[in-house]
Amino acid sequence: MSDMVDERTDGAASDETTRVKPVVAVVGRPNVGKSSLVNRIIGRREAVVEDVPGVTRDRVAYDATWQGREFTLVDTGGWETSASGLAAMVARQAEYAAETADVILFVVDATVGITDADEAVTRVLRATKRPVVLAANKVDGPMNDADALELWNLGVGEPHPVSALHGRGTGDLLDAVLEAMPEEAPRESEPVLGGPRRVALVGRPNVGKSSLLNRLAGEERVVVDSVAGTTRDAVDELVELGGKTWKFIDTAGIRRRFRALQGADYYATMRTAAALERAEVAVVLLDVSEPLADQDIRIVEQVVDAGRALVLAFNKWDLLDEERRYYLEKEIDRQLSRVGWAPRVNISAKTGRHVERLVPAIEQGLASWDTRIPTGRLNTWFKELVAATPPPARGGRQPKILFATQADVRPPHFVLFTTGFLEEGYRRFIERRLREDFGFQGSPIKLTMRIRE
Ligand code: GDP
């Protein structure tokens, strides 16, 4: 089992289908004002980082918005530090940019004019099919506009005069960037927001689902909510817990006894899948009085594959003796180690023991499931991680992680833009460190790569 997508398909966790925000890469030789322009675009008033060759910047990618359009802005300045000549270095950065970005924002210092390094970048950009928007920077006032005109000679289109320092012209420049962006496909249906959060109580037969539901909801079903068009006869119940209302999904499937003679397993799996489809978080109930069964593990896998938050509830704790407890811990270590991030609650539906701990665990899982890490922070973090522990080389080449974004929440989904394949061990390492530093307790994490060899 794994919470990293695509590992099941032979470790090819390369991903071209995930919807990520458009990437705009800022390229140009040192000192043209790339960082100032980035800061200007993201609306930051922080001190501008000196644009010195060979000096690694601490951040590379940021969240940006213009005219309501969101995109990831990438400063390529820190990508290549082992410079063998300025022109070669910036050409290499431009190559990376061309490989990863949807739009390239090429910054030239209009007061200096065209240099060898600018021409090296131009050669790379001409060879790509990516749209290029040319920024003629340091055009601080109208009397400098003539400087910008000279940059037509680069042959990459219209120079847009800007002053990153004063903000002059940046609006028009961003309009041009938006124009060059790929069409925005309509978002898929977003998860329903508002209303009670949706919990699926799942587990194999006889683990105590209906006992727990009865304890939580009381024998009286106060409010029921029939769901049309999903599993036949699905009934959701609104349950008041810890001062909040929760929607328990498909309680009909729990309260009623379904005893199909043939294909009972298949039917149960379908019913669980349907409940998970509509739920945000799953409480998987396990019976501690018996050894963990394959079916238990399969249900946990189903939750992870469905990308739902997960809480493990070990039921019938009242039946546990010392010996069984010893073996249980061993079974958990062996069979559930891959979901070590899931909160565990040890309960008894019968006696009510620790049942009140379910809600905090569910809330924890949902909070993790909803978490979004800002791109700037994420990239600062990645930069440190990769500097301390670089990805292992493959076939003599060391893959670079150029930058990362969080493409989605529910569950958190990270996309790494790389120059080569990251091995499974390294991806696991990344996930482990993400969890150590950002939590994500109770939520699966998806990690995919966009590889540009
Ligand atoms: P379901 O099939 O998952 O809905 O399981 P049930 O709720 O019908 O429970 C199956 C059996 O386990 C019943 O006989 C329950 O009384 C019993 N049971 C459920 N929870 C507990 C518990 O915490 N402790 C003990 N000792 N028995 C339990």
Q: Which pLDDT band holds residue 88 (cuts at 50, 70, 90)?
A: confident
Which residue among 206, 213, 255, 315 has the greatest number of ligand 1 atoms within 8 angstroms of its CB, and so is best to mutate? Answer: 206
18 versus 171: the higher-pLDDT residue is 171
Is pLDDT above 90 for 229? no
Q: For ligand 1, atom 7, name the residue with the nearest CA.
A: 208
DSSP secondary structure string for all residues of 294-322? HHHHHHHHHHHHTT-EEEEEEE-GGG--H
Helix locations, 162-311, DSSP H: 170-180, 209-217, 251-255, 264-278, 294-305
Q: Which of 293, 196, 311, 297 is nearest to 249 (CA)?
A: 196
CB 61 within 8 A of CB 72: yes
pLDDT value of residue 46: 41
Q: Which pLDDT band holds residue 4 (cuts at 50, 70, 90)?
A: very low
Please provide the average confidence, as pLDDT, over all residues in the chain: 85
Residue 293 Cα to ligand 1 middle (Å): 16
Residue identified by tokens 């010392």 is: 322
Segment 70-78 shows an average pLDDT of 84
Which residue among 207, 209, 211 has the greatest number of ligand 1 atoms within 8 angstroms of its CB, and so is best to mutate? Answer: 211
**pLDDT tens readout for residues 305-353:** 999 999 999 999 999 999 999 999 999 999 999 999 999 999 999 999 9
Question: Could you give the 3-state DSSP secondary structure of residue 337?
Answer: helix
pLDDT value of residue 79: 63
pLDDT value of residue 51: 45
Is pLDDT above 80 for 9? no
pLDDT value of residue 45: 42
Is pLDDT above 70 for 228? no
In this chain, the answer to whether the domains covering 23-180 and 198-369 adopt an identical fold is yes
Q: Which pLDDT band holds residue 5 (cuts at 50, 70, 90)?
A: very low
**pLDDT tens readout for residues 381-393:** 999 999 999 999 8
- From the CA of 315, give the closest atom in ligand 1: 23
Give the total residue count for the chain.
Answer: 453
Q: Which pLDDT band holds residue 6 (cuts at 50, 70, 90)?
A: very low
Separation CA 403–CA 391 (nearest Å): 14
Residue 208 Cα to ligand 1 middle (Å): 4
Ligand 1 pocket, Cβ-based, cut-off 6 angstroms: 203, 205-211, 254, 315-316, 318-319, 348-350
What number does CATH give the domain 198-369?
3.40.50.300
Residue 367 Cα to ligand 1 middle (Å): 30
**pLDDT tens readout for residues 19-62:** 788 999 999 988 898 888 988 888 864 434 444 444 445 457 88
Q: How many CA atoms lie within 13 A of 78 on its CB side?
A: 21
What token pair was written down for 252?
A: 């009909």
**pLDDT tens readout for residues 286-302:** 999 999 999 999 999 99
pTM of the predicted model as reported, rounded to 2 decimal places: 0.79
CATH superfamily of 375-451: K homology (KH) domain (3.30.300.20)
> Considering just the CA atoms, what is the radius of gyration of the chain in Å?
27
pLDDT value of residue 36: 86
Q: Which of 356, 358, 286, 283 is nearest to 324 (CA)?
A: 286
Q: Which long-range contacts (CB under 8 A, 24 or more apart) does 219-222 make?
A: 221/251
**pLDDT tens readout for residues 387-439:** 999 999 888 888 989 899 999 999 999 999 998 899 999 999 999 999 999 99
Domain locations in the chain?
23-180, 198-369, 375-451
Is pLDDT above 60 for 2? no
CB 211 within 8 A of CB 349: yes
CB 67 within 8 A of CB 51: no
pLDDT value of residue 241: 92
270 versus 8: the higher-pLDDT residue is 270
Distances (CA, A) of 319 to 213, 224, 235, 356: 19, 32, 31, 19
Q: For ligand 1, atom 26, name the residue with the nearest CA.
A: 316
What number does CATH give the domain 23-180?
3.40.50.300
CB 313 within 8 A of CB 284: yes
Q: How many CA atoms lie within 13 A of 63 on its CB side?
A: 13
**pLDDT tens readout for residues 256-275:** 655 444 556 777 888 899 99
Residue 202 Cα to ligand 1 middle (Å): 13
Is pLDDT above 50 for 226? yes
Q: For ligand 1, atom 9, name the residue with the nearest CA.
A: 208
* Percent of the residues in the chain that have a pLDDT greater than 90, as a whole number: 58
Q: Which of 215, 435, 434 is nearest to 313 (CA)?
A: 215
User: Could you tell me which residues are annotated as the binding site for GTP?
Assistant: 28-35, 75-79, 137-140, 203-210, 250-254, 315-318
Burial profile 79-99: b = 16 or more Cβ within 10 angstroms, e = fewer: bbeeeeebbebbbbbbbbbbb
